[in-house]
Amino acid sequence: MMSGDLDRALAALTIANGAAAMGHRVTVFFTFWGLTVLRRPRRTAARRSLLQAAFCRLLPRGTRRLPLSRLNLAGLGPLLMRRVMRQRNIASVEELLAAAREQGVALVACTTSMEVLGLTREELVDGVELAGVASYLGEADGAAVNLFV
């Protein structure tokens, strides 16, 4: 999960939950903008270099602020989509994330990306593991399904 878009997060987490419901062991590895999905909504004090702070300030804090990859319309698109989904009883990204945790889907944050974007452990939601590319490759190697979202 490299993308930090609401629509792509919905797709990834729907697939993750579907696979978990079918009895598969599932890991979602969050890297780059995907880390914003795991970010706490509240501001957290973090020691950052000036350059890192510049990036961090521009990155959304958590699922409520994710943009759409298309038709974002300055934030109107996500609002519209969320409202349609609520009317139709389709699980929101927050519900999908909660369901993933309940089903034991492993949520892993890429440590190198965290450094690049200046994100600290404390800024991410609870229950997230930290790991690097070797860990990802270890999981991916034997996986039946493996997607780059």
Interaction site with its own copies (CB under 8 A): 2, 4, 7-8, 10-11, 14-15, 18-19, 22, 31-33, 49, 51-52, 54-55, 58-59, 69-71, 80-81, 83-85, 87-88, 90, 112, 115-116, 118, 133-134, 136-137, 140-149
CB of 36 to its own copies, least distance (A): 9
Task: Find all residues with CB under 8 Å of 109, minimum gap 6, and list them.
Answer: 30, 31, 35, 38, 124, 128, 129, 130, 131
Question: To the nearest whole angstrom, how small is the minimum distance from the Cβ of residue 126 to its own copies?
Answer: 26
| Closer by beta carbon to its own copies, 32 or else 103 | 32
- Is 30:5 a contact under the CB 8 Å cutoff? no
CB-nearer residue toward its own copies: 90 or 98: 90
Distance CA 146, CA 148 (A): 7
Q: How far apart are CA 149 and CA 140, in angstroms?
A: 14
